[in-house]
A and B are shown apart, each in its own frame.
Chain A
Amino acid sequence: MPADITLEVPVAAPIRTGTSAIWTGGLVAGALWLAAASVTRFWPDQVDWERTDLLSLFEAGLGVVLLAAASPGLGRLTARARPIGPWLAVLPVLLSLWEIVTAKLGLLPLPFFVPPQALLETYTDDYPRLGESVWRSLALLAPGYLIGAAIAFVVGVTLGWSKRASYWGHPVLRFVGPLPPTAWLPLAFFFFPSSWSASTFLIALASGFPVAVLTASGISSVNSAYYDIARTLGASERFLVLRVAVPAAMPSVFVGLFMGLGSSFAVLIIAEMMGVKAGLGWYLQWAQGWAAYSNMYAALLLMAVLFSSIISALFLLRDHLLAWQKELVRW
């Protein structure tokens, strides 16, 4: 019956190109990793570093894997790695530059500037302490962040929905919210029975403020026609909040969750440095006490990997829940 359906046929699956040819990018990257491995292995160090051979082994291993992956038969397997080919080729160059100015030429003063193998040594020799620190950081971050985000979500929905709640709540939020959560730190450590509960409170505060503000603004900016539709169809107030306002506000809520995550990382590290005596923040300070610069770099690198993975996970969750926002498929 409807005319335009016949006109709008779904498009065919995307055409695969080049998966059977040799992956040139992989070939180049593999060769460069092998070159980096020989620089590390055969150019003598200024000072003897423990893990130079391990580093070169690691670089050579990666080079061999990439060369193997570049072979024509594995096109389907490596299709996902292809877009990062240029990065895989640039990384060994940068790593070698770092290696040359530190270990090989000794251009930068020790102990402040360490070569890559010093970081590697930290990971191979100090992994129990580092692993423990990662675990303690996560155990402190997760409850604080989740409690803060959950409470703030409820607060935000209430502020965004109810005029009276907004009248009393918004000025408070606007007055107290801009205080950096770390400013509460001295008081929190005084009032709370343990440094763990004090830090959890601060992290909850840090994640809560952006979540509350963005949830409230998301709820209050929902297209009023959405409510008209639901009301004419017989929706209750509860339905309007849970099935109309909240889903419509979710994109905004996720912006708040993302911003809250960033500021809760900051509070986590400071809390660990100030009083918790565990976790990656504490590890950094402990390493500083021993002037163990390679440990500090190693901890920073680990922190970067950890935190960016957590944020990536949040974005994956968002893409999954808000698939309707993306216009991946169009008829």
Chain B
Amino acid sequence: MVALADAVAAATPGMALDLHEVSHHFDLKGTILPVLNRISFSVKPGEFVALLGPSGCGKSTLLRLAAGLDRPRSGRLNADGIPVGAPDPSRILVFQDPTLYPWRTVWDNVALGLQARGLLRQGRSRVDEALQLVGLTRFADAYPNQLSGGMAQRAALARALVNEPRLLLLDEPLGKLDSLTRLTMQGELVALWQRAGFTALLVTHDIEEALLLASRVLVFSDRPARIVAEIANDRPYPRHRDDPEIVQLRRTVLDELGMAASW
């Protein structure tokens, strides 16, 4: 399985991401709200890195910067050694809300990126493949308001994957799902990542999710966010939540977050 994933990975190599002293703040009616405090880290091509921290600590802002939707106030943010400027289809952000366009069918939603770049005529089969990848072939003609939360989030994933991104930025994509769907989708996400070979940067406040999915977990402090710990996790996939090493790692992370006593 891993060997197969490596073979396919060569087709769309992951993107390297380097942050150097990145800081960001918001202007809220004159008062300055610092959100990121001199963040530096690197992500290797094809790596799956989780950003873990309390909600509202600025992790989502970091993803918007990496996507090119906002510019950092200071510091350098390079993708494959080139400063991130405007948004680009090689770096795609998946939000907590699926934000499908309600006026488009699932198929047309997934086709959005190809249509926007004028590639739809040649790429129709890629849309079908992406839908098949996330198991929504039967729902191609459905409208988003006819989908369950899990299916809508799968459609949002397909909308990202159809563009063959080299960097997938996941902003708590499973945050609003019920716990059963969430478990299923965690497994699917790992399988997709192994198959496609993109670099993944996942924002989450769920410790278990970070440990099950990522090969490296960066623990963030409260706002303004800085990195307080970095935990490598080389357990083989698929991982299990009751694996003793995972349980041990969870304790380590809770320690770092100052929550060990309350566990």
Contacts and interface: CB of A to CB of B under 8 A. Distances in A.
Contacts of A236: 116
Given A1-B135, A228-B69, A232-B69, A248 B103 contact: yes
Given A232-B67, A232-B69, A250-B103, A239 B148 contact: no
A125 interface: no
Given A2-B184, A3-B180, A239-B116, A232 B146 contact: no
B125 interface: no
A112 interface: no
A2 B134 contact: yes
B135 A229 contact: no
Contacts of A228: 69, 93, 95
A221 B97 CA distance: 18
B95 A2 contact: no
B99 A232 contact: no
Nearest to B89: A234
Given A2-B188, A5-B139, A5-B151, 11 more contacts: A4-B148, A4-B151, A231-B87, A232-B68, A232-B69, A234-B113, A235-B112, A247-B101, A248-B101, A323-B143, A324-B145
A322 interface: yes
A230 B89 CA distance: 10
Contacts of A239: 115-116
A324 B116 CA distance: 21
Nearest to B119: A234
Contact of B92 (A2, A232, A248): A232
A229 B138 CA distance: 24
Contacts of A330: 145-146
B181 interface: yes
A243 B115 contact: yes
Interface string A115-141: 000000000000000000000000000
B205 interface: no
Nearest to A232: B87
Interface in B76-125: 87-89, 91-93, 95, 97, 99, 101-104, 112-113, 115-117
13 contacts: A1-B188, A4-B150, A4-B151, A223-B99, A228-B69, A229-B93, A232-B91, A232-B92, A232-B93, A247-B104, A322-B103, A330-B146, A331-B139
Contacts of B154: 2
Interface of B: 67-69, 87-89, 91-93, 95, 97, 99, 101-104, 112-113, 115-117, 134-136, 138-139, 142-148, 150-151, 154, 159, 163, 180-181, 184, 188
A48 interface: no
B89 A233 contact: yes
A243 to B, nearest CB: 7
Contacts, number: 99
A239 B119 CA distance: 14
B24 to A, nearest CB: 17
Contacts of B113: 233-234
A223 B101 CA distance: 10
B97 A325 contact: no
Given A232-B67, A233-B113, A234-B113, A226 B101 contact: yes
A329 B146 contact: yes
B97 A8 contact: no
A95 B93 CA distance: 65
A233 B112 contact: yes
A225 interface: yes
Contacts of A226: 99, 101
A327 B113 CA distance: 26
Contacts of B136: 2
Nearest to B102: A324
A243 B116 CA distance: 9
Given A233-B92, A327-B145, A225 B97 contact: yes
A284 interface: no
Given A226-B101, A232-B67, A324-B103, A5 B89 contact: no
Interface in A307-322: 322
Nearest to A329: B146
Nearest to B91: A232
A229 B112 contact: yes
A114 interface: no
A1 B154 CA distance: 12
Interface in A204-243: 223, 225-226, 228-236, 239, 243
B67 A229 contact: no
B103 to A, nearest CB: 5
B102 to A, nearest CB: 6
A227 to B, nearest CB: 9
Contacts of B135: 1-2, 5
A330 to B, nearest CB: 6
A185 B154 CA distance: 58
Nearest to B137: A5
